[in-house]
Amino acid sequence: GENVEQHPSTLSVQEGDSAVIKCTYSDSASNYFPWYKQELGKRPQLIIDIRSNVGEKKDQRIAVTLNKTAKHFSLHITETQPEDSAVYFCAATPKAAGNKLTFGGGTRVLVKP
Amino acid sequence: DGGITQSPKYLFRKEGQNVTLSCEQNLNHDAMYWYRQDPGQGLRLIYYSQIVNDFQKGDIAEGYSVSREKKESFPLTVTSAQKNPTAFYLCASSTRQENEQFFGPGTRLTVL
């Protein structure tokens, strides 16, 4: 089955700086890669996703890049703000698995004012 | 956010008891999922269902059971066979065509 590794597990950045979180996956058939944000005590919410036919996707201050050859994808947050502080999860799903997601272990991001 | 609900928000159980966690959605989604989240860890899939009256084991199904008698509902029973059930349980749903999963607010289960 699919295995997703996520790094770093914690990330502290100064407000205004950029944050980068990296994930690697094992199943070359995976074709959908979402990123979820989970604030303390709340439900995970999708913030951006990318499919395997695209190398990069942007949405305002967040972007995701995908390298299919190396089987890794990254989340980039620019101009970080205190409200970006949360736990971020990457995930992957092989096409054959329907909509079943395999999640990474999460990254706790702290944005210091 | 109101499309998928879980109850109760907090649940306390004595060792040896079975408990059932509720998950309901009004999004008309075919697929539903149960995840377990432990402190500082990611989400692990317990069970999932792609259609009514059918479900499959996820990565950590031992000690859990589910049913899917209605499209809107996917209850999870934590049995006494689950050795370490204290965790945060999240339910999610999606359409069969789209990959995005929508999560409920979660149930925090504590075994006393």
Q: Does B98 touch chain A (CB under 8 A)?
A: yes
Mean of pLDDT over chain A: 93
CA distance A9 to chain B (A): 9
What is the Cβ-side half-sphere exposure of residue B4, based on CA atoms within 13 angstroms?
Answer: 28
Give the per-residue pLDDT at B81: 87
Give the per-residue pLDDT at A16: 97
Q: What is the pLDDT of residues A17-42, one digit of tens each?
A: 999 999 999 999 899 999 999 998 89
A–B CB contacts, 8 A cutoff, strictly below: 56
Structure token digits, residue B41: 């860890």
CB contact set of B97 (below 8 Å; sequence gap of 6+): none
Structure token digits, residue A29: 């058939």
Could you say which of B42, B98, B105 has the minimum Cβ distance to residue A43? B105
- Is a pLDDT exceeding 70 seen at residue A110? yes
Could you say which of B42, B90, B99 has the minimum Cβ distance to residue A99? B99
Question: B100 contacts in A (CB within 8 Å)?
Answer: 34, 46, 49
Residues pairing with A107 in the sheet:
A88
CB contact set of A75 (below 8 Å; sequence gap of 6+): A19, A20, A21, A23, A35, A48, A62, A63, A64, A88, A90
Could you say which of B33, B100, B105 has the minimum Cβ distance to residue A46? B100
**Contact indicator for A56, A73 with CB cutoff of 8 Å:** no
Give the per-residue pLDDT at A20: 98
Least confident of A78-87, B38-47, B69-78: B38-47
Top-confidence residue, A32 or A94 = A32
Structure token digits, residue B86: 């204290």
- Is a pLDDT exceeding 90 seen at residue B21? yes
A101 to B45: CB separation less than 8 angstroms, yes or no: yes
CB contact set of B104 (below 8 Å; sequence gap of 6+): A43, B4, B5, B6, B23, B25, B90, B91, B92
* Residue A97: pLDDT band with limits 50, 70, 90: low
Give the per-residue pLDDT at B3: 93
Question: A110 contacts in B (CB within 8 Å)?
Answer: none
